């Protein structure tokens, strides 16, 4: 998609096809001859891993839907029926549930890779924004899917998360009733969540298509953060990156299979093996681990925001928490314009590295705090990490880029690979010598 | 790639072929469970055989039971009905079968059949058609006699017999 | 440098796979409460003799109040479970009356395909018969309970594949009925349990000698509790043995495939500096 097409149809059929529906040309230019920077490291393999995980979730999901019964009376037992009686059901159900966790693990790595290497910077702002949209859709899908087994955690997660909307002034309560289809979570909620849980992944597929399109127009970023200058900077996607991605994917499948077969319940919660009961709340409600950082941000806002020295409350703590939680994702949309640095890759920004590390620590710390009771030291810590999270995006990045002294950038990707002493001619000679 | 390399189908080719083969095995093994899950589940398979107590069915009566979700006729025939079925000439039959092929030896009074018309699967009605003690499919007019053999209408075959055996004179195992 | 991390991940898994759990043994508050189970770990599988004993305990001491609606009689004879004979199961099922709207009278004798009938018609009746407390269904109870654990010990559990919090919980609860310590009041119809640290509505269900075992297993509360906990784990996941055995093959396959792909990738990339 970037640059002139290198595709030449070889036989009669492909020529015929190419003048009607140039899909083979599209595949060739996007995944075969696609010029890819030669210096991509393993952090760049998570794009392919995520595409694979999306397929895994859709395929196992479609298969589970053949056996699942989306009614309040039958949902819990039908999931157990799948585990017990459907051929391979234990494995397929486990792949889908553990797969959600692996999907999120991969997406967090992918996002933090982008933040470190400045993948959001011009000309890749749209690529980044589409990525945030995918992340939002994934979170919605993950939440909707978690409700379907209709255990206690499913039910109370649905109750708590739909209650977020009641924080909205004026229309909040009506909106919650609209979303639930009643005053409480019930059969109506379950069936609509099931419908949407089936729909959203296909919307993700659509946005992923746009995401890849928006990637292939400017081309991949890379660890050096300098743009591709000539042919020596790139390699054809196939076989170099197809094989590298495939290797990384199979390595990624190892922990996936480990959890799937040996600890399928380790990432879940025991309370979800108790049938949903609207009369009893579990002692300690926690979301799935991949929502923990945002859950901690929600709970960190324990105070009202009002006009100082008066009793006037502008934003109560409940609405404040919800705003902070959604704000933590919304802020990502503006990241391309918040970072003022001219240098793309974090590798050449010594001061940035420290702040970045603190961001990672804050995010993991928030994830840990999300599983802790919301009192005492935990709240204070969560407030500190939350403040840093927003401070990183809204204060540090805008200012740091203007004052930081960065390390000198390589002149080109091939120079960053071969070292500054190597001129271009010997580099080409080396390649031929190796052949 | 130069011609030299091509002439040497050695370790490199072997590595690529081996990896490809392992990959194909992997994809195949992962795909099979996704297909096989559509086959009958353990809960369905557990009902693949049912036992039925015949002592509850009086002479002349017909009961409908379930086997694998299919409707099954269990008919306790009267001596008249047996005699009539045995007396029918094979030449009169559309799908010729002697009565002895429709029942178990020594248990001629018990006629056990899958209750779906062999035309398009409707459940025929008992004793309302042309043949006394026979069946009449209301959907498209097929007529079955007292041994469940098709005598007229669009149905091509006699009513199908499920696999079954007598565990005792009063207990039958279907499936 | 960054190219090494998948290898490190693979290495960590290999360590988790082949290092015996005992080598990773660690001390913390809950360690003492963890029991040795035959079905723990990568190579774990149920012990049919233990499950048969556990079933006996369940039948005599639990089943009068607790149902197991997802358990089918046929499960009791399938491989990887208590492995009773099909004849035994047929006879057992026939002892129970099963509600069936399709038959005259609305009930019939059970067959192996039936699921375990509940001891009470509904939750309300169950509560009334148990002075207001609802005895939970046992279908997945072993997965709905766990020992508490703290950071960072659960990370170690990922490598040892510790998934036995349920049976550990049940075992500890069953053996720790005790006299209440000073200052704890126990109302009539309540029973103090030192493991949960609370008063339970369930009276102590097990006593030495209450279940007669054939074979050499001791007829003690400790042994009963151990056996019934194992049995309840099996009820919660009858296919556990199959899952683990398949998993071992899958991991081996992935290691082989990853190794081959690494060689392929290295060979392709050898010609280009990167």
Measured distance CA(A120)–CA(A127) in Å, rounded: 7
* B3-62 residue pLDDT tens: 444 455 566 789 999 999 999 999 999 999 999 999 999 999 998 998 899 998 999 999
Closest chain B residue to C256, measured at CA? B22
- pLDDT, residue C7, reads 53
Could you tell me the end-to-end alpha-carbon distance of chain A, in angstroms, rounded to an integer? Answer: 29
List all residues 6 or more positions away from A304 whose beta carbon is below 8 Å from its beta carbon: A313, A315, A316, A317, A320
Tell me whether A341 touches chain C (CB under 8 Å): no
Q: How many CB atoms lie within 10 A of CB B69?
A: 8
Which residue in B140, B157, B167, B171 is the catalytic one? Answer: B140
Average pLDDT of chain C, as a whole number: 88
Question: CA dihedral defined by A36, A40, A45, A46, rounded to 10 degrees?
Answer: -110
Among B5, B31, B37, the residue to mutate for chain A (most A Cβ within 10 A): B37
Q: Is residue C80 part of a domain?
A: no
Q: Is residue B2 part of a domain?
A: no
Tokens encoding A362: 């804050």
CATH of the domain at B136: 2.102.10.10
Domain identity same for C178 and C260 = no
In the predicted structure, residue C68 carries a pLDDT above the cut 90: yes
Q: Residue B114 — φ and ψ, nearest 5°?
A: -75, 125
Q: Is the Cβ pair B12, C267 closer than 8 Å?
A: yes
Cβ-Cβ contacts under 8 Å between A and C: the total is 136
Q: What is the mean pLDDT of the segment spanning A307-317?
A: 85
Domain identity same for C264 and C191 = no
Burial bucket for residue C131 (CB in 10 Å: 0-12, 13-18, 19+): exposed
Domain identity same for C147 and C261 = no
- pLDDT, residue C31, reads 61
Domain identity same for C63 and C135 = yes
Which domains are seen in chain A, by residue range? 32-285 (1.20.810.10), 299-397 (no CATH)
Q: Is residue B27 part of a domain?
A: yes
Domain identity same for C150 and C245 = no
- pLDDT, residue A381, reads 96
Q: How many structural domains are present in chain B? A: 1
Q: Is residue B3 part of a domain?
A: no
- Of residues A24 and A427, more confidence is placed in A24
Average pLDDT of chain A, as a whole number: 93
DSSP string of A140-160, one letter each residue: HHHHHHHHTT-BHHHHHHHHH
Closest chain A residue to C137, measured at CA? A274
* C73-114 residue pLDDT tens: 999 999 999 999 999 999 999 999 999 887 888 899 999 999
Q: How confident is the model at residue A426 (pLDDT cuts 50, 70, 90)?
A: very low
- pLDDT, residue A372, reads 87
Q: How far is CA A48 from CA A115, B21, C160, in A?
A: 18, 21, 30
- Whether B119 sits among the annotated catalytic residues: the reply is no
- pLDDT, residue A264, reads 95
- pLDDT, residue C189, reads 86
The residue range of the domain holding C259 is: 239-274
Q: How many structural domains are present in chain C? A: 2
Q: Is residue C43 part of a domain?
A: yes
Residues of chain A contacting residue B6, judged by C-beta atoms under 8 Å apart: none
Q: How far is CA A146 from CA A140, C34, C225, in A?
A: 10, 29, 33
Q: Is residue B133 part of a domain?
A: yes
Domain identity same for C171 and C127 = yes
Q: How confident is the model at residue C8 (pLDDT cuts 50, 70, 90)?
A: low
The residue range of the domain holding B85 is: 11-174
Domain identity same for C228 and C160 = yes
Q: What is the mean pLDDT of the segment spanning A69-78?
A: 97
Chain C: give the shortest CA distance to residue A313, in Å. Answer: 38
Which of A5-19, A64-78, A271-285 has maximum average pLDDT? A64-78
Tell me whether A89 touches chain B (CB under 8 Å): yes
Element (H, E) at A213: helix A187-216
Q: Is the Cβ pair A83, C270 closer than 8 Å?
A: no
Q: Predicted ipTM?
A: 0.92
Closest chain B residue to A89, measured at CA? B37
Task: State whether residue C159 is helix, strand or coil.
Answer: helix
* A117-165 residue pLDDT tens: 999 999 999 999 999 999 999 999 999 999 999 999 999 999 999 999 9
Chain C: give the shortest CA distance to residue A34, in Å. Answer: 17
**Considering CB atoms only, which of B2, B36, B43 is closest to A81?**
B43
Q: Which of A357, A338, A344, A349 is nearest to A397 (CA)?
A: A338
Residues of chain C contacting residue A235, judged by C-beta atoms under 8 Å apart: 272, 274
Q: Is residue C197 part of a domain?
A: yes
Chain B: give the shortest CA distance to residue C274, in Å. Answer: 20
Tokens encoding A277: 């009961």
Q: Which of A430, A346, B168, B104 is nearest to C273 (CA)?
A: A430
- pLDDT, residue C17, reads 47
Q: What is the mean pLDDT of the segment spanning B128-145?
A: 92
Q: Is the Cβ pair B41, A86 closer than 8 Å?
A: yes
List all residues 6 or more positions away from A294 whose beta carbon is below 8 Å from its beta carbon: A139, A325, A328, A329, A366, A370
Chain B: give the shortest CA distance to residue C205, in Å. Answer: 32
Q: Is residue B111 part of a domain?
A: yes
Domain identity same for C245 and C220 = no
* B56-107 residue pLDDT tens: 899 999 999 989 889 999 999 999 899 989 999 898 899 999 999 999 999 9
Domain identity same for C155 and C254 = no
Residues of chain A contacting residue B43, judged by C-beta atoms under 8 Å apart: 81, 85
Measured distance CA(A229)–CA(C71) in Å, rounded: 66
- pLDDT, residue A15, reads 94
Residues of chain B contacting residue A91, judged by C-beta atoms under 8 Å apart: 33
Chain C: give the shortest CA distance to residue A241, in Å. Answer: 9
CATH of the domain at C234: 1.10.760.10
Domain identity same for C184 and C139 = yes
Domain identity same for C185 and C244 = no
Tell me whether A264 touches chain C (CB under 8 Å): yes
Cβ-Cβ contacts under 8 Å between A and B: the total is 34
Domain identity same for C213 and C247 = no
What predicted TM-score, i.e. pTM, was given to this entire model?
0.90
- pLDDT, residue A331, reads 97
Q: Is the Cβ pair C260, B19 closer than 8 Å?
A: yes
Q: Is residue B1 part of a domain?
A: no
* A339-393 residue pLDDT tens: 999 999 999 999 999 999 999 999 999 999 998 888 889 999 999 999 999 999 9
């Amino acid at each position: 998609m970037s640059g002139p097409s290198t595709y030449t149809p070889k036989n009669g059929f492909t020529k015929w096809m190419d003048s009607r529906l140039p899909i083979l040309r599209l595949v060739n230019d996007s995944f075969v001859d696609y010029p890819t920077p030669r210096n991509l490291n393993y952090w760049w393999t998570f794009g392919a891993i995520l595409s694979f995980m999306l397929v895994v979730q859709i395929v196992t999901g479609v298969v589970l839907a053949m056996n699942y019964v989306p009614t309040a009376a039958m949902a819990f037992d039908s999931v157990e029926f799948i585990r017990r009686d459907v051929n391979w059901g234990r494995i397929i159900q486990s792949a889908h549930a553990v797969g959600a966790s692996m999907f999120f693990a991969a997406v967090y790595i992918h996002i933090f890779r982008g933040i470190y290497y400045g993948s959001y910077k011009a000309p890749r702002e749209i690529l980044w924004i589409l990525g945030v949209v995918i992340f939002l859709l994934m979170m919605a899908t993950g939440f909707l899917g978690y409700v379907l087994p209709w255990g206690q955690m499913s039910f109370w997660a649905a109750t708590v998360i739909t209650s977020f909307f009641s924080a909205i002034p004026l229309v909040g309560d009506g909106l919650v009733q609209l979303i639930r289809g009643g005053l409480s979570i019930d059969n109506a909620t379950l069936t609509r969540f099931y419908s949407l849980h089936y729909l959203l992944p296909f919307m993700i597929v659509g946005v992923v298509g746009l995401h890849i399109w928006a990637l292939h127009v400017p081309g991949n970023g890379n660890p050096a953060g300098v743009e591709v200058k000539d042919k020596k900077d790139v390699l054809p996607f196939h076989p170099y990156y197809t094989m590298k991605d495939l290797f990384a994917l199979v390595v990624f499948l190892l922990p996936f299979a480990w959890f799937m077969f040996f600890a399928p319940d380790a990432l879940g919660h025991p309370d979800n093996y108790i049938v949903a009961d609207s009369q009893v709340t579990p002692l300690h409600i926690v979301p799935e681990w991949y929502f923990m950082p945002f859950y901690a941000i929600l709970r960190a806002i324990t105070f009202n925001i009002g006009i100082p020295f008066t009793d006037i409350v502008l934003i109560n703590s409940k609405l404040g928490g919800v705003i902070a939680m959604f704000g933590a994702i919304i802020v990502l949309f503006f990241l391309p314009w918040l970072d003022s640095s001219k240098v793309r890759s974090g590798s050449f920004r010594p001061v940035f590295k420290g702040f970045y590390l603190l961001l990672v620590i804050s995010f993991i710390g928030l994830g840990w705090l999300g599983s802790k009771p919301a009192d005492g030291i935990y709240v204070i810590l969560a407030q500190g990490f939350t403040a840093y999270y927003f401070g990183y995006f809204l204060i540090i990045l805008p200012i740091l880029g203007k004052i930081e002294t960065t390390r000198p950038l390589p002149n080109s990707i091939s120079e960053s690979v071969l070292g500054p002493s190597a001129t271009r001619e010997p580099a080409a000679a080396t390649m031929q010598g190796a052949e | 790639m130069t011609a030299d390399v091509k002439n040497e189908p050695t370790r490199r080719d072997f590595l690529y072929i081996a990896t490809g083969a392992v990959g194909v095995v992997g994809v195949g093994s992962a795909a099979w469970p996704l297909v096989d899950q559509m086959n009958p589940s353990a809960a369905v398979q557990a009902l693949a055989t049912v036992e039925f107590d015949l002592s509850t069915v009086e002479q002349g009566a017909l009961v409908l039971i379930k086997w694998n979700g299919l409707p099954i006729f269990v008919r306790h025939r009267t001596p008249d009905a047996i005699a009539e079925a045995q007396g029918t000439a094979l030449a009169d039959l559309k799908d010729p079968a002697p009565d002895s092929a429709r029942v178990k030896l020594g248990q001629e009074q018990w006629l056990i059949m899958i209750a779906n018309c062999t035309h398009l699967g409707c459940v025929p009605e008992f004793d309302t058609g042309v043949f006394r003690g026979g069946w009449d499919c209301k959907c498209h007019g097929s007529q079955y006699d007292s041994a469940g053999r098709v005598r007229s209408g669009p149905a091509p075959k006699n009513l199908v017999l499920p696999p079954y055996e007598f565990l005792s004179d009063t207990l039958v195992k279907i499936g | 440098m960054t190219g090494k991390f998948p290898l490190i991940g693979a290495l960590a898994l290999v360590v988790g796979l082949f290092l015996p759990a005992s080598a990773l043994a660690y001390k913390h508050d809950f360690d003492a409460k963890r029991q040795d189970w035959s079905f723990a770990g990568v190579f774990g599988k149920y012990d049919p003799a233990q499950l048969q004993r556990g079933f006996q305990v369940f039948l005599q001491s639990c089943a009068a109040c607790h149902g197991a609606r997802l358990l089918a009689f046929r499960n009791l004879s399938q491989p990887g479970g208590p492995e009773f004979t099909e004849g035994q199961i047929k006879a057992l099922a026939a002892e129970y009356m099963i509600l069936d709207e399709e038959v005259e009278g609305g009930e019939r004798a059970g067959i192996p395909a039936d699921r375990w009938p509940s001891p009470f018609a509904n939750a309300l009746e169950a509560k009334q018969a148990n002075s207001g407390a609802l005895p939970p269904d046992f279908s997945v109870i072993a997965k709905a309970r766990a020992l508490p654990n703290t950071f960072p010990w659960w990370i170690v559990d990922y490598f040892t594949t510790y998934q036995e919090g349920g049976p550990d919980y049940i075992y500890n609860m069953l053996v720790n009925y005790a006299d209440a310590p000073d200052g704890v009041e126990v109302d009539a119809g309540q029973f103090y349990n030192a493991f949960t640290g609370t008063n339970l509505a369930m009276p102590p269900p097990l006593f030495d000698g209450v279940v007669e075992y054939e074979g050499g297993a001791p007829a003690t509360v400790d042994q009963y509790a151990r056996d019934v906990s194992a049995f309840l784990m099996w009820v919660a996941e009858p296919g556990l043995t199959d899952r683990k055995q398949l998993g071992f093959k899958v991991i081996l396959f992935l290691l082989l495939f990853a190794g081959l792909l690494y060689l392929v990738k290295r060979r392709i990339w050898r010609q280009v500096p990167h």
